Amino acid sequence: MQMRFMSKGMELADTSKAYIQKRLGRIEKLVDSMSEIEVETDCDKKGMYRVEIMVKTPHDLYRSENIAENIEAATDVALDELETQISRTKDRRHDLKIRGGRSIKKSIVVDSDARF
């Protein structure tokens, strides 16, 4: 898995970077090893931090953005949104696979009196 950090208008401290990497461990468990993660941080003049996280997989692109007063809070909310998106997509794919198997099973008729 490839991670890339970008900062605009600020220098990302090592402690913040380590915190973000630790929290990204939850996302790494949900996606395959062929994915790429981009984290973009920004600080405006009012002292608000914007964190944008993009996860690129071979089939999908997941993106989450949040603005908060500190970088850790913005990271936590953005990662929660990403986790929800990824798990929803995985559940949907699993359900479609199950439904496809059921429809194939119903279309195969061994005997007209057989029940499935």
Judged against a pLDDT cut of 90, whether residue 81 lies above it is answered with yes
Confidence of residue 83 (pLDDT cuts 50, 70, 90): very high
Residues 37 and 79 sit within 8 Å (Cβ to Cβ): no
The side-by-side arrangement of strands in the sheet containing 49-56 is: 2-8, 36-43, 49-56, 61-68
Residue 53: predicted pLDDT: 94
Percent of the chain with pLDDT over 70: 97
Q: Which two tokens stand for residue 40?
A: 């973009």
Cα(78)–Cα(25) distance, rounded to whole angstroms? 14
**Dihedral of the alpha carbons of 73, 78, 83, 89, in degrees to the nearest 10:** 170
| pLDDT score recorded for residue 116 | 60
| Per-residue model confidence as pLDDT tens digits over 31-67 | 877 789 999 999 888 889 999 999 999 889 999 999 9
Q: Return mean pLDDT, the chain.
A: 88
Alpha-carbon gap, residue 76 to 34, rounded angstroms: 24
What are the residue boundaries of the structural domains of the chain, listed by start? 2-107
Instruction: Return the pLDDT at 39.
Output: 93
What is the CATH T-level fold of the domain 2-107, as seen in this structure?
Double Stranded RNA Binding Domain (3.30.160)
